[in-house]
């Protein structure tokens, strides 16, 4: 089955189709399961009421968006915590909490507020963001940033421990500050 999966991947087929087709062909070639059972399982998986709820929750989110509820929730969230540093992200989380309480669905939240905080709110928030360094970027900062990225990647790959990563970052920053 794994070989079929990689053959289909090499042919440029989408991953979902590769997985499904490799599984179906393996079941058919193996011959231990009747083909009728495969069709029955496909049908039974579609006969699920929670699948019906997904488009209805998305519809609920769109209705809230069209009615203006989401804009008012975003305005309330921004009024409550928008003045804090990182206020746009925190207002987004608070808006999603309100939306979750109203609709009961993360899908409705995404449909309603996901597109709201992408454009105008980002532009409005960008005007209030203060620079990280008031006197300009220090000369050591690019080396520090590079060392942090390198250390995070190495820790994520399991190449070094967190203690070694912290030491590498400190050493790179110290070296950049003495230059």
Report how far residue 68's alpha carbon sits from residue 11's, in angstroms, rounded to the nearest whole number.
47
Q: What is the DSSP letter of 83?
A: T
Q: Over 70: is that where the pLDDT of 69 sits?
A: yes
Collect all residues with Cβ–Cβ distance below 8 Å to 160 and sequence separation of at least 6. 151, 154, 168
Report how far residue 116's alpha carbon sits from residue 19's, in angstroms, rounded to the nearest whole number.
35
Sign of the dihedral defined by the CA atoms of residues 64, 70, 71, 72, in that order: positive
Q: What is the pTM of this model?
A: 0.41
* Helix, strand, or coil (residue 82): coil
Residue 160, sorted as left (phi over 0), alpha (psi -120 to 50) or beta, turns out to be: beta
**Residues 6-60: pLDDT tens digits?**
999 999 989 999 998 998 888 888 878 787 887 888 788 777 777 777 787 778 7
């Amino acid at each position: 089955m794994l070989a079929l999966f990689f053959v289909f991947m090499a042919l440029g087929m989408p991953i979902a189709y590769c997985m499904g087709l490799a599984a179906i062909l393996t079941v058919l070639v193996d011959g231990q399961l009747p083909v009728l059972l495969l069709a029955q399982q496909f049908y039974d998986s579609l006969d699920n009421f929670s699948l019906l709820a997904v488009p209805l929750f998305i519809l609920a989110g769109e209705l809230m968006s069209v009615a203006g509820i989401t804009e008012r929730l975003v305005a309330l969230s921004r009024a409550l915590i928008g003045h804090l540093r990182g206020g746009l992200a925190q207002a987004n989380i608070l808006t999603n909490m309100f939306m979750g309480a109203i609709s009961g669905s993360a899908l409705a939240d995404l449909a309603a507020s996901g597109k709201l905080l992408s454009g105008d709110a980002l532009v409005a928030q960008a005007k209030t963001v203060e620079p990280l360094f008031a006197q300009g970027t220090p000369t050591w900062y690019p080396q520090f940033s590079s060392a942090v990225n390198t250390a995070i990647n190495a820790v994520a790959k399991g190449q070094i421990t967190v203690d070694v990563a912290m030491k590498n970052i400190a050493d790179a920053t110290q070296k950049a500050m003495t230059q």
